[in-house]
Amino acid sequence: MKAVDAVIIGYGWTGAIMAKELTDAGLSVLVLERGPARDTSPDFEYPRIADELKHAVRGDLWHPLARETFTIRHKRGDTAVPYRQYGTIVLGTGTGGAGAHWNGQQWRASPNDLRLRSAYEERYGKKFIPSDMTIQDYGISFEELEPHFDHFEKVGGVAGSAGNLRGKLVDGGNPFEGARSSPYPNRPMAPILSSQLFAKAARELGYQPFPVPAANSTSAYTNPYGVRMGPCNLCGFCEGFGCFLYSKASPQTTILPVLKGRANLEVRHNAYVTRILLDGGGKLATGVRYVDANGREVDQPAALVVLAAFQLNNVRMLLLSGIGQPYDPVSGKGTVGKNYAYQMVSSTSAFFGQEVHMNPFVGAGAAGQQAIDEFNADHFDHARMGFVGGAMIFAGATGGRPIVQMPLPPDAPQWGSGWKSAVRRHYAHSSSVATMGSVMAYRDRYLDLDPTYRDAHGLPLLRMTFDWHPNEYRMTAFASERAGEIVRAMRPQRVSQHVLRPGDSYDTRVYQSSHTTGGAIIGSDPSNSVLNRYSQCWDVPNVFVFGASSFPQNIGYNPTGLVGALTYFAAAKIRSSYLKSGGPLVQA
């Protein structure tokens, strides 16, 4: 094919951001997306998008696992087996990627999340961090990222309440957040009843609840690109669904409209990239190879390669392409595949009397939710806790869809007339409080290529080696106890809790979040990371990698806000320096 200035692999959030930034800079850009073309109209039109069975259960917008998946094992020496049925995480595909059907909780990282190892060593001493815990600093400060957090929030029309505005604490917001340069672009969503009860109970216990930042516009809004968004009507169909009201921030509702018709941008769908092509010395990318919709193998030359796929797919692409040294957990050498992490989530359900009407069908992915952040990151004294990290605790419905969103007491029948009776009794009179816990990186938790299983094109699948560590069991026990105290203060008739405890192995059948991280991490040195602070490959400087694959460990928030900020931060440096000189970008 004819050479282009830049080729982008994937058309989700990071791919859309980079397509905008690079075409603005005048480059000829080609986007290769493995899935189909999708837009608000006709793909997300009402009423057919509001089909829970089709989308939230059968995953019509998700990537088909029969063509490509990954394998999982708990520890080295085990035989990994393929992830064949959706449970633990969901993989997006098509225009918008998972950003088309995410929940929309858009958090910033805490300042000490970005320098985690340094922060803990300075406060508690080096011995506080277990020897097998391989956590690292990002090499980027919160202050450097703040303008890019701010811009991404304005692009998405995020609704929220500032807690730290230019260093001054503001009532009603998150008092633990880093200093913001400006307020959220939209007022926060009004709290639904479950969130009101949570906030009241949290305040009675001395905590400071605040609205969860929601990438759901609460008013008619025009973003910095001139794209208009409509107000959310709390339809309850966010997670697993595209938004038919142009209210939930997604590539389709925020960025892609301004890219349509650009002469220097081409998008090819159903293009399955199989590798990044390198020159004879392996130090420069010359383009990519992909399989098109007709099954033909195509080589696409490009001067710049942007890897903007899902976290797992980013790592697999680097391994398949021979970029960087694969991580070896025995020697601890190598970087590609290092520091894989997931999240540990717990839930506490509250069951109220018939006089308390929750109206769970009124909701959105982050609609009216309230949270406390006292026990996240290093916002509290860990000295006697015996664990690193923490969790954000939040309440509120993401919808009231009757197939998969029906919390029932643990003694309720699982099927038949007894189950139906329990659903009638509790559906409209229950709520849930969740903890979103961080997970640290460890020497024995990593990603590599599976020696046995292959995809539909004969390429090795990615293999995940992962299970929980004692640190996370202690973290979730502590956070869940705090959540339970708040729920009991809400005064329900009954309470039930689901918390992972020592002996509970990682279970791929149970969904917690799709927040997987690591494997192509950012760092300050080629010996401990795949990427420099500008998301540029140390080994192949004309390859940039964007997504949660760059996180050195997982945080106690949803990752999208940090993913977007890191992408905009790198894009600014690419435009100001790399496109002028090429080659490795300096750290400063």
Q: Are 253 and 12 in contact (CB under 8 A)?
A: no
Three-state SS annotation for 287-336? EEEEECCCCCEEEEEEEEEEECCCHHHHHHHHHHHCCCCECCCCCCCCCE
Nearest Cα residue to 21 out of 310, 213, 203, 262: 262
Write down the H helix ranges in 181-228.
Answer: 193-204
Q: Give the C-alpha separation, 385 to 478, whole Å.
A: 8
DSSP E strands, 34-186: 70-73, 81-82, 164-165, 168-169
438 dihedral zone (left: phi>0; alpha: psi -120 to 50; beta): beta
Q: Rounded to whole angstroms, what are the CA distances from 192 to 199, 231, 354, 483?
A: 11, 16, 17, 18
Q: Give the C-alpha separation, 492 to 473, whole Å.
A: 27
Write down the H helix ranges in 434-534.
Answer: 470-489
Q: Rounded to whole angstroms, what are the CA distances from 585 to 570, 572, 580?
A: 10, 12, 11
- Positive or negative torsion for Cα 15, 20, 24, 27: positive
8-state DSSP, 186? B
Q: Are 390 and 397 in contact (CB under 8 A)?
A: no
The set of residues, in sequence order, having a beta carbon less than 8 Å from that of 51 and lying 6+ positions away, is none
Q: Give the C-alpha separation, 401 to 253, whole Å.
A: 24
Residue 346 token pair: 């717990």
8-state DSSP, 196? H
Cis peptide before 209 (omega within 30 of 0): no
* Catalytic member of 55, 148, 469, 515: 515
Active site residue 498: no
List active site positions.
515
